[in-house]
Amino acid sequence: MKSDNVQKIWWLPLLFIMLVTGLQLTGCSDPEPRHRSAFILFLQTEIINKSRVNLPTLTPEKQESMGKYFQYYQLLTSFNQQLKTAFTPLEQSIRAIKPMNTVAQLIEQQQPINEVLENIKTTQQALDKLVESSKTTYDALALPEDVKKVFDEAFKKVVTNEIQTAKQVLPLMSNVYTSMQNVINFVKSKGDTVSVNNASIQFSTTQDLDQFNQLYKVMQDAYQEYRQFNQVTH
């Protein structure tokens, strides 16, 4: 009997230790695989598979579900915001231009047009810096192979492709507003030998009229090229 009591006394502590150890192992399991899966799924469903770039604001719960990988989503949103910021002055200067349905209205907008051209240059410089910083940041990333494969797709869509599109559209915009500027400068250079009255314009020589028509066509062609590019990319 004494021997049986000893066995029972020993079994209880052993059972308690086993239960506690099991609970500790469960509570301390590595959450990284779960965070990794949540991040990969989010990139695939909310960014890569979408037709357009749209970076949603995540709830605290959603952020927590990604763990340390949420910081890489913040990287994407940061670059996206920097791109928008780079274009803000240019967009504001374009919105400041009033409708131009006649040559007279075009001439009246000479100063705003000049401001747009200056902002195009500034935006191009900001893009160049953004390209450099995005490359530096990307090269420094250290991600697990399965995450990197998906993140690369998201990065290309949100950062690389968007910057590339921006760099393509700026020269087209520059062509439009430069051609407008050329038309204005030409008309103004003729002084009293040209008459501008709302929608009509009259030159004293056929040569001047022909040169004006050539400049005006260049302006129309530049605008058409810019418009076609926008239709393809939006």
Q: Which residues, including other chains, have CB under 8 Å from residue 224's CB and lie 6 or more apart? A: none
What is the SS3 assignment for 99?
coil
Return mean pLDDT, the chain: 88
Q: What are the tens digits of pLDDT across the range 158-202?
A: 999 999 999 999 999 999 999 999 999 999 999 999 999 877 899
Asked which of 9-13, 98-102, 136-140, 154-158 is least confident by mean pLDDT, the reply is: 9-13
Q: What is the pTM of this model?
A: 0.80
Cα four-point dihedral sign 101, 104, 108, 112: positive
Beta bridge partners of 196: 201
- pLDDT value of residue 17: 40
Q: Is the pLDDT of residue 1 over 50?
A: no
- pLDDT value of residue 28: 54
- pLDDT value of residue 198: 77
Amino acid letter for position 68: K
Would you tell me how many other CB atoms lie within 10 Å of the CB of residue 147? 18
Q: What are the tens digits of pLDDT across the range 3-61?
A: 454 444 434 444 444 444 444 444 457 899 999 999 999 999 999 999 889 899 999 99
Dist. CA 39–CA 148, nearest whole Å: 11
**Mean pLDDT for the stretch of residues 207-228:** 96
Helices (H) and strands (E) in the chain, counts: 9, 2
Q: Is the pLDDT of residue 132 over 50?
A: yes
Q: Where are the domains of the chain?
A: 33-51+58-233
Dist. CA 207–CA 87, nearest whole Å: 40
3-state helix, strand, coil in the chain (%, to 5): 80, 5, 15
